[in-house]
Structure 1
């Protein structure tokens, strides 16, 4: 990344693929505004974790590093709903970021969140709020989806003012038109704010 470019980290965990679809739509929005999108994920966690297996994921986006998080100009954070909360894998990653918190590495950088659930009332908004909390503790500027996004008024599945979302009912593998447009709009807004903040900071 050169000195004049703006790079936004799109960090997600996806078990069955729908949260990844939202991440990819956010990337579309970011790139349409001329921002470099860095798509990353986090490894699984379990009681029998094999540390040697964490270097490279089996497929999809690479695993994120703390350096990539520290150097980003903005962040889109995504996880499926696990009992109304972010996934254990994503929470585990944020529990490793104390060093960045001590340095203030993420202060005044813009951030947003996205999620998916298996049912319409499956805890999407509480999951988005759960992801908001560590970002606020890191001093980031959290942004949602404004009602100027027309699809937010029309959606009958996913999409909230707290962040882009999708409903994965009936083994759904694609986003609805409204879900995709809300995610793209969220990416565009994040790109616009990230560029403005970076320009104003003089970095």
Structure 2
């Protein structure tokens, strides 16, 4: 029998959200007895027919319904788009009514993460609104407690609602700060630990 796994599901346009996803995955890997799956979603096509390839050219593979339904916990990530999640991730979630009707995600832990190019560009509203479909699925939301010291010392991203990253628009290089990386890892570890407890 395969080990339970945490699904880290994200959409990333320029790499910042992907960097957070990878740091979160490293946190999950610190917990014995549970695996991690990194998955993404395709972009939304401007045409009536999908024009994106069935398999992405690079990075994580696209998330399947099986990946979602069989996870022991879910950590959902998106860049901020006008204070909300990006359309490709919302489009994917809008197609999960069958999972909702069969309560496949109910009572499983979940968390959220985001990245923005401006410090007050909607990080908290994005994180909070990303929780709404997870609550509808009956998931148990995990945040970041202030017992994580980086939450009080960070001058970039990191919130009690979930991990975040601030990538100033004028900076070309994408990289997490030390605090952002530590908080992302802590979030992954926290959800993985809760998943094992809830599974028991």
Fold match (TM-score > 0.5): yes
* SS of match in other structure, 2:107: coil
Residue of structure 1 in register with 2:86 after alignment: 87
Secondary structure in 1 aligned to 2:14? coil
Cα deviation, residue 46, structure 1: 2.7
Q: Is the 8 Å Cα contact of residues 45 and 51 (structure 2) preserved in structure 1?
A: no
Q: Partner of 1:129 in structure 2? A: 128
Q: Deviations over 1:29-57 (max 9, x none)?
A: 00011220000000000322653634201
Q: For residue 173 of structure 1, give the secondary structure of its aligned residue in structure 2.
A: coil
Shift of 1:58: 1.6
1:40-59 paired onto structure 2 within 5 Å: 40-48=39-47, 50-51=49-50, 53-59=52-58
User: Does the CA-based 8 Å contact 2:43-2:52 persist in structure 1?
Assistant: no
Separation in 1 of the partners of 2:78 and 2:21?
A: 10
Residue aligned with 1:51, SS: coil
Gap change, CA 1:41 and 1:100, over 3 Å in 2: same
Normalised by the size of structure 1, how large is the TM-score?
0.94
Q: Distance in 1 between matches of 2:27 and 2:84?
A: 26
Instruction: Establish whether residue 104 from structure 1 lines up as the match of residue 103 from structure 2.
Output: yes
SS in 1 for 2:62: coil
TM-score of the aligned structures, taking structure 2 as reference length: 0.95
Residues 1:10 and 2:47 are matched in the alignment: no
Separation in 1 of the partners of 2:36 and 2:165?
Answer: 21
Q: How many residues align?
A: 197
The match for 1:22 among 12, 20, 27 is: 20
Q: Distance in 2 between matches of 1:9 and 1:107?
A: 15
Q: 1:138-177: per-residue Cα shift (whole Å, max 9, x none)?
A: 0000111000000000000000000000001123411000
Secondary structure of 1:93's aligned partner: helix
**Could you report, residue by residue, the CA deviation over 1:39-92 in whole angstroms, capped at 9, with x for unpaired residues?**
000000032265363420121000001111000000010000001000000000
Structure 2 distance, partners of 1:25, 1:171, is 20
* Root mean square deviation of aligned Cα: 1.1
**Unaligned runs of at least 5 residues, structure 2:** none
- For the residues of structure 1 that align with 2:137 and 2:53, how far apart are their CA atoms? 25
- Counterpart CA distance in 1 for 2:55 and 2:179 is 34
Higher helix content, 1 or 2: 1
Partner SS, residue 85 of structure 2? coil
Change (3 A) 1:52 1:46: closer
1:6, distance to aligned residue in structure 2 (A)? 2.0
What is the match of residue 174 of structure 2? 173
